[in-house]
Structure 1
């Protein structure tokens, strides 16, 4: 569901696939899709249907790593023999590693994104070690590729969330209105992370933290690029939708026996909807980690939290160059007599601007 506040179309400053940071493979996919979609209607119900379909397909593309990992987990549950020489947990670890390498080799993921995913491995594994020790959930005891009671494939499940977030940033060319200051979001995320540990011995502050998240991100609106249109969506709505998808994936993973909660030891049943709150808060940590590497960008022309107005990079360079040239020309005119020729009018010096009075617009250097 898109749940847009407003649709802005077409894009005034649509960036190319290269400018959006798409990999070479994704650039070819992007070009292929546009060749088949450019002739479709841009207004009316059919346009909305096309936008919705493309939105869903791009979301599926963004969560490719997580979807493949979940498919492997389900496949090993259905078809992998229990008495196989290689333990199932070890197979899952090797399969997850192979998927990660494949994503990198096929250029579906960049090296910069891989570094972010590595941070998720560390943050997730530390939490896993603690949570399994206090009995919040448990894994099968087989396999050798593990740290304590935690099989190494568990870190890839956190990495799947990180992979989705970094991919969705560039695939949808996400922009943010009124994104909160990052040091504030870092404090909230740190408090959430600490509470995941301390609530076992002290007061559980999760609802207070939920209120903090709602307050900090209340005014933030996300601009989602779909084809040549931009869909505006409150960031908190996006947090809720992604948390719900993760909860569904968690139900599939526990059904496949990837891990179990104490209440599922006697037999599997759906994970309680109360876990949605935990996933909502964990997603906040994930978003903050990603935004410290990929700084949230405002829409073109929007006022940032620092009070400055964002403009497209090329337009900004043109304006700076035009103003510099205009300043240099004015200084030359003031300090020296104009050069003339036999025809009469003064010759324009190099770099002078013909066009608007402030040197910005349709002018050209002659």
Structure 2
């Protein structure tokens, strides 16, 4: 009996830790959901979500759930994500159809909080799961991640090389493992598998967000449809950009490896 109950306890502990890691993202999605049932207000829904995102950030900092360094890297994720949104929306990849005052070139400022939520997840995972990287090649992974970010823009005019870049990311992270603590035990998994799993859950979150009208793809403008499965791969690649930013912020400059707190 104990041989069965211990793995179950471990699984439940891991699920609870992951839920805590996702606290900002869950709270943000809850706010988006709540905004759909609010009565008509003189303030646009997208603008309310900007204020809500700022309030969430303040709460997490004041409660000590995120450190000052966490907040700085999350802010960078927000800016990087907002730049991504500005280009993609200008090219018609997706739209934010509702009006707003706090909107720049068709992108509401709350759009950056969607990427900040991913940064928050990784920062909290580093704290709560005591993450450490084994055989991590920072230089190679950073170069590939930067190329992946650029390709998400350049493929609109140049050949799309996401598959070669996916192969390059697998090569750069080959042998790299993420060690983490669950209860009394220390576990590990390949970094590439971690990217794939995060990509899947981001795809699920994207389905929920688009259903709630957080943004719309062109094929969703006349009625919601599930987000394409292909987006799982896109997210698995894009998460490498956020991971590189968070890992760099957490790295112990004395020995060149990402520290655990």
TM-score range, shorter chain: over 0.9
TM-score by length of 2: 0.94
The runs of 5 or more residues in structure 1 that have no matched partner are 1-40, 298-303, 307-311, 313-366
Report the counterpart of residue 248 of structure 1 in structure 2.
204
CA displacement 1:206-249 (0-9 Å, x = unmatched): 11111111111121111110111011211111111111111000
Counterpart of 2:147?
Answer: 191
Contact 2:195–2:237 (Cα < 8 Å) also in 1:
no
For structure 2, the 5+ residue unaligned runs are: none
Distance 2:256 2:132 in 1: 13
Counterpart selection for 2:30 from 42, 65, 71: 71
The answer on 1:283 being equivalent to 2:239 is: yes
Whether 1:57 and 2:13 are equivalent positions in the alignment is: no
Using the alignment, how far apart are the partners of 1:184 and 1:233 within structure 2?
A: 19
Give 1:86's match in structure 2, choosing from 33, 43, 46: 43
Asked if structure 1 preserves the Cα contact closer than 8 Å seen for 2:134 and 2:177, the reply is yes
What residue in structure 2 maps to residue 124 of structure 1? 81
Alignment of 1:45 onto 2:4: yes
SS of structure 1 residue aligned to 2:133: strand
Structure 1 partner of 2:123: 166
Aligned to 2:192: 236
1:286: Cα distance to partner? Answer: 0.8
Question: In the alignment, what sits opposite 1:110?
Answer: 67
Q: Which runs of 4+ in 1 moved over 2 A?
A: none
How many residue pairs get matched?
Answer: 257
| TM-score between the two structures when normalised by the length of structure 1 | 0.68
Structure with the larger helix share: 2
Distance 2:204 2:162 in 1: 21
Quote the RMSD (CA, aligned, Å). Answer: 1.9
**Contact 2:134 2:178 (8 Å CA) reproduced:** yes
- In structure 1, distance between residues paired with 2:80 and 2:181: 30
CA offset at residue 163 of structure 1? Answer: 0.5
Alpha-carbon offset, residue 141 of structure 1: 3.9
Higher relative contact order at CA 8 Å, sep ≥6: structure 1 or structure 2? 2
